Chains A and B, each alone.
Chain A
Amino acid sequence: MHTDNNSNRIVTIETIVEETPSVKTFFFKDKLSSLSMAGQFLMVWIPRIEELPLSVMISHKQDFAAVTIRKHGYGSSSLFNLKKGDKLGIRGPYGNYFVFKEYKNIVLIGGGTGLVPLVRLLYQLKQEKIEITIIIGSKTKDEIFFVDLINKILENNETYKILISTEDGSFGKKGYPSDILDEMILDKNKKIDMIYTCGPELMMKKIFDGAFKKDIPVQASLERYMKCGIGICSSCCINDKLVCYDGTIFNNEQLEKLSEFGFNYRDKSGRLQQYNSV
């Protein structure tokens, strides 16, 4: 299935966009990556440093793709500090992708770099007629990004809405994106055909739980620690699924059966750990 995209392709960082003081997007030329579906990921090699699984970000330039990263650990900070002209190794794209059918009303919910696959979905949909609500969650006002980009992608869609929540209340609604969704769900006149989400797992779990009560279908992109990216090492397992091989997107029927979703993850050694509940 992944035979052609497995080899490491060396690409040059051509453009860097600073999204926030701690988030940057790195653009590079790679045809295979540019053809990625929304939600697929790349294994990105920062030579001598680390290899990271990163969702494929859009680029408006033909045959270009990008990755968006928040500096956080050793690997992501090293990538964050790279300069234009530096080299990266790329393999992939891997994994499945968000599925879109004839939906009339969709909600996209993301937090932080979790917006990346959702932005790619919007970019690929090119839907002018459907009702789209984008809910963006952030800790604080300064960490909100991609809003201008989303406005541009949807400039021909007259009904879309962007709703924002911040944990400290510095912008939009104070709280979590799931709070905004809960209010939307309470509005009986509001029909939602599909919720797409990517972000912190506990946020997605709340969204799933809220949607489950109202029978609203969900597609969620899950994140787990990964080593191989190709379904052979088990590092990213959640119950009997491998996030890299069976996912990263799981629908509500699958999520319902994943008892570890929102509760457990595996650490680097493979030990099952518990999320700290919020």
Chain B
Amino acid sequence: MDDNISLKIAGINLKNPLIVASGFLGLSQHIFKRLYNLGAGAIVSKSISILPREGYRNPTIVSIDGNSYLNAVGLANPGLESFSNEIICNDVPLFVSIVGSSFEDFAKIVNKLKNFNILGFELNLSCPHVEKMGMEIGDDPKAVFDIINIVKKNTNKPLFVKVGIGNSNIITIAKVAEEAGADGITAINTIRAMKIDIETGYPILENKIGGLSGACIKPMGIRCVYELKKNINIPIIGCGGIMSYKDVIEYLMAGASAVQIGSILGFKGLNIFKDINNDLQNFLEMKNYSHIGEIIGIAHRQ
């Protein structure tokens, strides 16, 4: 039924292009299963670190303008040991997102999980609100190269590298990732941002600064995917502010082979997958495309 929206990316077959982005609903096998049954093409776990992390105190999430979120959860996750028990019987298409603060961390996590029934890994090198674990590494081309190198030495599973808008040029970092052997790029992560309550004069987030997701970052995501497509040959997963099938189409036209969604789940609930997939199929039919792959990168036509 979904044949015209099924796809293959970095050797992985997906029934549709909708992947649940890391950070959203990513810690329970029961929930992974539910998301898959609701129509998600794949799910990316929360970013897993060696040790459990409680994250920041609340407030960790602030809604902005009814279509975007600012969050500083602080990479809360159950840690490698507990999470590997969680997914030991995994039977849904799952990517494990990983974070670390040393090369050994990444190697250790990958070694523990490489023989699990998972699609692959996503390196979170772009979390904008945790020091020494995310963007600070992702801004350093040499560190990016070395981490990917270590991960690829330890596993044959596909590796996506999630990049964001930090201090380094996103294209430079993505090119380094490609050279180092990454199988794909996920772009973009949330963008460093802030919200101050003007009644009290206090920043709302406990961490004060967080990462912005949702509709307001979509044009930046589209721009990044478009520029990345011009500069790298490995597949791109587009991410940032997808609120309808139209946004999915836009990312694909910019050059993405699949997309990740997250904020939309907060605004529209968990039952959106089937609708978006149906809308995608209707769009393809209306425009006389026989397969979704035909629109990938068409914005680059001369």
A: which residues have CB within 8 A of B? 1-4, 6-8, 10, 43, 45, 47-48, 50-52, 74-75, 87, 89, 91, 226-235, 237, 239-240, 242, 245, 266-272
Check B149 for interface membership: any CB of A closer than 8 A.
no
Check B58 for interface membership: any CB of A closer than 8 A.
yes
CB contacts (< 8 Å) of A230 on chain B: these are 61, 63, 266
| A231 and B27 contact, CB distance less than 8 A | no
| A269 and B31 contact, CB distance less than 8 A | no
| B79 and A3 contact, CB distance less than 8 A | no
Rounded to whole Å, the gap between the CB of A33 and the closest CB of chain B is 16
CB contacts (< 8 Å) of A270 on chain B: these are 27-28, 46, 52, 76-78, 82
Do A10 and B199 form a contact, CB below 8 Å, given A231-B270, A269-B52? yes
| A233 and B200 contact, CB distance less than 8 A | no
B: which residues have CB within 8 A of A? 23-28, 30-31, 33-34, 46, 52-55, 57-63, 66, 69, 73, 76-79, 82, 86, 197, 199-200, 202, 204, 206, 262-263, 265-270
| B59 and A271 contact, CB distance less than 8 A | no
21 A–B contacts from the bound complex (CB under 8 Å):
A2-B266, A7-B66, A8-B197, A48-B202, A50-B206, A51-B58, A227-B58, A231-B266, A231-B270, A232-B263, A233-B24, A234-B28, A237-B25, A240-B30, A245-B269, A266-B28, A268-B55, A269-B77, A270-B52, A271-B78, A272-B82
CB contacts (< 8 Å) of A227 on chain B: these are 55, 58, 60-61, 73, 76
With A228-B60, A271-B52, A271-B79 given, can you name 7 additional A-B contacts, CB distance below 8 Å?
Answer: A3-B267, A7-B63, A51-B59, A227-B58, A228-B266, A231-B265, A233-B23
Query: Which chain A residue shows the least CB distance to B56?
Result: A227
| B66 and A50 contact, CB distance less than 8 A | no
| A234 and B58 contact, CB distance less than 8 A | no
Q: Which of the listed residues B26, B31, B268 has the most CB atoms from chain A within 10 Å of its own CB?
A: B31
Q: How far is the CA of A239 from the CA of B34 in the complex (A)?
A: 10
CB contacts (< 8 Å) of B82 on chain A: these are 269-272
Q: How far is the CA of A75 from the CA of B59 in the complex (A)?
A: 11
| A245 and B200 contact, CB distance less than 8 A | no
Query: Which chain B residue shows the least CB distance to A74?
Result: B57
CB contacts (< 8 Å) of A87 on chain B: these are 199-200
Q: How far is the CA of A232 from the CA of B197 in the complex (A)?
A: 23
| A234 and B66 contact, CB distance less than 8 A | no
Query: Which chain A residue shows the least CB distance to B59?
Result: A51
Q: How far is the CA of A266 from the CA of B206 in the complex (A)?
A: 21
CB contacts (< 8 Å) of A231 on chain B: these are 25, 265-266, 269-270
Rounded to whole Å, the gap between the CB of B71 and the closest CB of chain A is 8
A-B contact count (CB 8 A): 130
CB contacts (< 8 Å) of B202 on chain A: these are 47-48
Query: Which chain A residue shows the least CB distance to B66?
Result: A3
Query: Which chain A residue shows the least CB distance to B51?
Result: A269
| B204 and A45 contact, CB distance less than 8 A | yes
CB contacts (< 8 Å) of A91 on chain B: these are 63
Do A240 and B27 form a contact, CB below 8 Å, given A89-B204, A232-B262, A270-B76? no
Q: Which of the listed residues B25, B202, B262 has the most CB atoms from chain A within 10 Å of its own CB?
A: B25
Rounded to whole Å, the gap between the CB of A164 and the closest CB of chain B is 34
| A234 and B57 contact, CB distance less than 8 A | no
Rounded to whole Å, the gap between the CB of B23 and the closest CB of chain A is 8
Query: Which chain A residue shows the least CB distance to B208?
Result: A48
CB contacts (< 8 Å) of A242 on chain B: these are 25, 31
Query: Which chain B residue shows the least CB distance to A246?
Result: B270
| B200 and A47 contact, CB distance less than 8 A | yes
| B58 and A232 contact, CB distance less than 8 A | no
| B269 and A1 contact, CB distance less than 8 A | yes
Q: How far is the CA of A229 from the CA of B73 in the complex (A)?
A: 13
